[in-house]
Structure 1
Amino acid sequence: MNDAAMLEGRCLCGAVTIKVHAPNPRLRACHCGMCRQHTSGMFISVDTEQEGMVIEGPGISFRSSEWAERGFCGTCGSTLWYGTVHDGARHLAAGLFENAAGGEMKLEFFADQCPQGYGLRGDHRRLSTEETIAMFSGDDA
């Protein structure tokens, strides 16, 4: 593994620490109702490798739907991840890493649910609710 691609992050209080390999730290935003309720805004994750991910400390998972979980610090409550139950993947919150891991916004999920009061600029892919659900259900072939 390339050490330059190794990210180290932490929650607000530092009780949870994360080490993960991220050779291409692209950012993704989700505007679904659950992400907005969980974070009080959009949830922004950084694309990292699942293999070798080390999360230490009081990270707690909350099963938020039939197919997803959300992680948070048991001490300070910081948002840690969005996880998919079917494969155990954890999509880490960009805010855990300095400068959002230096990533560039590449994708928005549920873009049609983005509140009127904010939006992201830039030329990146924006998926509607229908497109997002098709992608996660495997029906986008």
Structure 2
Amino acid sequence: MTSKVKLAGRCMCGAVEISGTADGPTAGACHCDMCRRWSSGPFFEVTCGDLVFQGEDSIIRFRSSVWAERGFCGKCGSNLFYHIVDSDEYQIAAGLLDQQSDLRLALQVFTDSKPSYYTLADDTETMTGAEVYAAFAPPSD
């Protein structure tokens, strides 16, 4: 049984603050081309529910695929989240969180897209791009 943990954080300039709950808390890393282009490395995230944004007017949302958008602060440029559009699921950038010492890396996705110049040491569950699409992509019409 995983426990719910309250999380809080903010962007670099403080214009956007977040609060919510997460399971564990566990972190994930995405190695897809888009995430690496967006964050200049793997996108480390914590999936949060019951999310509340303060400073919503500073959030810029970019529709990066048919089913997802990415958010960043329009004032300082901090990456904020990856969001599945037709859901309440937000994957918050782990670096925004005030308390990161209890995070545990539990999942890496798009491992078949990971470049060879880095390797993460933690032993985690892994998923290829095909496995991610099969598990999470909405059905096409």
Q: Which TM-score applies when normalising by structure 2?
A: 0.87
Q: Distance in 1 between matches of 2:138 and 2:74?
A: 33
- 1:122 & 1:63 partners in 2: Cα distance? 31
Deviation at 1:47, TM superposition (A): 2.8
Matches of 2:89 and 2:27, distance apart in 1: 16
What secondary structure, in the 3-state scheme, does the structure 2 residue paired with 1:12 have? coil
Aligned residue in 2 for 1:22: 22
> Are the counterparts in 2 of residues 62 and 70 from structure 1 also a CA contact under 8 Å?
yes
**2:53 equivalent among 52, 55, 77:** 55
What letter is aligned with 1:27?
Answer: A
Contact 2:67 2:85 in 1 (8 A): yes
SS at match of 1:134: helix
What do residues 66-121 of structure 1 show as CA deviations (whole Å, max 9, x unaligned)?
11100000100000000111214211110001353621011011011111111211
User: Partner of 1:123: helix, strand, or coil?
Assistant: coil
Among the aligned pairs, what percent are the same residue? Answer: 43
Q: What TM-score, normalized by structure 1, do the two folds share?
A: 0.87
**Shift of residue 56 of structure 1?**
1.3
CA distance in 2, matches of 1:137, 1:59: 25
Where does the alignment leave 5 or more consecutive residues of structure 1 unmatched?
none
Aligned residue pairs, count: 134
What SS is found at the alignment partner of 2:77? Answer: coil
| Paired AA for residue 108 in structure 1 | Q
Cα distance change of structure 1 residues 61 and 138 upon mapping to structure 2, 3 Å threshold = closer
Higher percent of residues as helix = 1
CA 1:101 to 1:72, structure 2 compared with 1: closer, same or farther past 3 Å? farther
Structure with greater proportional strand content: 2
The CA deviation at 1:23 is 4.6
